[in-house]
């Protein structure tokens, strides 16, 4: 006897999710996925630069982080975290300027 053939399967639709968690901007807000380690360090050092001591370190680490992120853009897996790196740079500049003013005032 002739048995009926099953209906054809529908074509597979591509998944709307990114290939990796690091490509999802929402997940990068929650977890440090695909982020430059230098950018994370620059963000924390920028935050701690409010106590004036690590400001020159925040400045140097921020510059390294920005260079690291820019170098990774042409590669297949670009790093993220430019906002943290720029925050560390701004806080490092402000804190270093404050440190210079304090040192000049003290030795006048």
The structural domain count of the chain equals 1
Q: Which domain holds residue 42?
A: 34-106
Per-residue confidence of the chain (108 residues) as pLDDT tens digits? Answer: 577 787 777 776 665 555 565 566 676 666 666 778 888 888 888 877 777 677 888 889 999 999 999 999 888 888 888 888 998 899 889 888 888 898 899 887
The structure tokens listed for 4 are 């009926």
Q: Is the pTM of this model over 0.85?
A: no
Q: HSE on the CB side for 63, CA within 13 Å?
A: 7
Q: Is residue 83 part of a domain?
A: yes
Q: Is residue 26 part of a domain?
A: no
Q: Is residue 7 part of a domain?
A: no
Q: Is residue 43 part of a domain?
A: yes
Q: Is residue 56 part of a domain?
A: yes
Q: Is residue 101 part of a domain?
A: yes
Q: Is residue 100 part of a domain?
A: yes
d(CA 35, CA 43): 12
d(CA 76, CA 63): 22
> CA separation (Å) from 56 to 51, 60, 73, 90, 94?
12, 6, 27, 11, 10
Q: Is residue 25 part of a domain?
A: no
């Amino acid at each position: 006897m002739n048995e009926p053939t099953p209906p054809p399967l529908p074509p597979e639709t591509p998944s709307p999710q990114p290939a990796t968690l690091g490509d999802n901007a929402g997940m990068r807000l929650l977890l440090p996925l695909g982020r430059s380690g230098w950018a994370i360090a620059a963000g924390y050092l920028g935050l701690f630069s409010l106590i004036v001591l690590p400001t020159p370190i925040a400045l140097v680490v921020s510059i390294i982080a920005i260079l690291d992120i820019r170098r990774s853009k042409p590669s297949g897996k670009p790093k993220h975290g430019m906002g943290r790196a720029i925050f560390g740079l701004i806080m490092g500049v402000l804190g270093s300027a404050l440190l210079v003013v304090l040192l000049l005032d003290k030795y006048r």
